[in-house]
A and B are shown apart, each in its own frame.
Chain A
Amino acid sequence: MSELTQELKAKIITQLNLEDLTVDDLDDNTPLFGDGLGLDSIDALELIVMLDKGYGIKLADPKEGRKVFETIQTMADYIEANRK
């Protein structure tokens, strides 16, 4: 699981152009949106595309996304449970 969270952190930094951050700056349980990392709705769309391209997971229900993208850890848990 730790390997997956590290991989996710690297992908998020690259995909969302978080130029000033490194993998070590991201905590597994930091909220990705709101007061945490401060991501926005376009970032949410980028994360949906990342799940599809990287792990073959299609998120159809936006309400589901809110829980899945809460933190790096919740993303990793969801990927472990649903990846193809």
Chain B
Amino acid sequence: MIRPIYIHGSGCVSIQPTFESGYHFETLRAYAQNTVPAFDPDYKTYIPPMQLRRMNKSMRMAIFAARSALQEAGKDTADAVIAGTGLGCLHDSERFVETLLAEEGQSLNPTPFIQSTHNMAAAAIALSLGCKGYNMTYVANANSFESALLDAQIYLAEHPEQAVLVGGVDELGVRTVQFWDIAGYLKHDTPAIPTPLGAMPSPGEIAGEGASFFVASHQPGHEALGKVTAVETYFDATDASVFISHFLQRHNLDASAIDAVLLGYNGDDRYDQAYATVEHTLLAGIPQIGFKHVLGEYDTVMASALFLALRLFKRQDIPQSLLLNGTQPRSLQRILIYTQRRGKNHGLILVEKK
């Protein structure tokens, strides 16, 4: 089994003001639309204007989240950058392909081409920091962040003296959203953030975007925000209770050892049953916390769920807006995060408060 990794700093840009110091989801931004762009911080805090002008949203959000994490960790840079993204830099990918079609392959602008690759956000972080170390991007749909986290665990096992930046980022793209709509992915029936869960179930998700990054190492330190003890992914699963039960057994835990579980309910009645199965059986009686109903759905929203879990450790209080079953735990020491998207790409992260 791979050793736990300690998180020393975290940063998050999302559709909520998560970039604000000490933000704890008590005041929520409300939206009535089915694609919600991130609530932008002042990117110039960390990115010089002449660099910022060319960067797409993924790059901006990723750099801001990464630099925020470093600042919280009290570090100037990291030894490696490991990122996950489901769809990469969508805006520039769309621009590049559309120009390719419009210009029949002639006179293509270089910027959208250069910035259309999935690894551009991790590269932009490295350029921003002058980090010439290991730089890797994982693209695995809704398990992209978990894949990056697994690689961070492996990398740190091989380089125990180092610290890495690990995170996830995904942005919205105009054309891609149209495709999602045609495919029936998006909610049309009174879309809203916060999404009412349980009441008036309807199909479709509310697409959001965001980036969360973490400074991780094998050193516990005095100021560690928490430690990631286990990460697992399952592409397909018929009963979430079964694989979560096996996951807990492999880590010598029973359900009662979990203080709270973060469940990725997004209000899509076609797929939320996976969470309901867990909520009403294996993890019944354990405080349950939602996050996608306030953050929207995107492939790497799991990274923002980890950001939230670390905030919960620090505050030892679950905001009412996130608490699904109304029970405040006496203490938050161990949190399980479970998510899936459209019935596939199930992911589990076990995180503990040091």
Contacts and interface: CB of A to CB of B under 8 A. Distances in A.
A18 B106 CA distance: 25
A53 B107 contact: yes
Interface residues of A, number: 13
A20 B49 CA distance: 8
A20 B106 CA distance: 30
A84 B311 CA distance: 62
A19 interface: yes
B109 A49 contact: yes
A45 B110 contact: yes
Contacts of B54: 16-17, 42
Contacts of B50: 38
A70 B103 CA distance: 28
A46 interface: yes
B110 A16 contact: no
Contact of A42 (B49, B106, B110): B110
9 contacts: A15-B109, A18-B53, A20-B49, A38-B50, A46-B110, A46-B111, A49-B107, A49-B108, A53-B107
B117 to A, nearest CB: 14
Interface string B103-142: 1001111110010000000000000000000000000000
Interface of A: 15-20, 38, 42, 45-46, 49, 52-53
B128 to A, nearest CB: 15
Contacts of B110: 42, 45-46, 49
Question: Closest 9 CB pairs between A and B?
Answer: A17-B53, A45-B110, A52-B107, A53-B107, A49-B107, A49-B109, A19-B53, A42-B110, A38-B50
Contacts of A53: 103, 107
A17 B103 CA distance: 21
A16 B52 CA distance: 11
Interface of B: 49-50, 53-54, 103, 106-111, 114
Contacts of A52: 106-107
B50 to A, nearest CB: 6
Contacts of A17: 53-54
Contacts of A16: 53-54
Given A42-B54, A42-B110, A46-B110, 9 more contacts: A16-B53, A16-B54, A17-B54, A19-B53, A49-B107, A49-B109, A52-B107, A53-B103, A53-B107
A47 to B, nearest CB: 10
Contacts of B114: 42
A78 B55 CA distance: 30
A36 to B, nearest CB: 12
A44 B109 CA distance: 11
A16 B55 CA distance: 11
A46 B109 contact: yes
A18 B111 CA distance: 14
A12 B102 CA distance: 21
B126 to A, nearest CB: 17
A53 B108 CA distance: 9
Contacts of A15: 109
B127 to A, nearest CB: 12
Nearest to B115: A42
Nearest to A54: B107
A55 B84 CA distance: 42
B53 A42 contact: no
Contacts of A42: 54, 110-111, 114
Nearest to A44: B110
Nearest to B106: A52
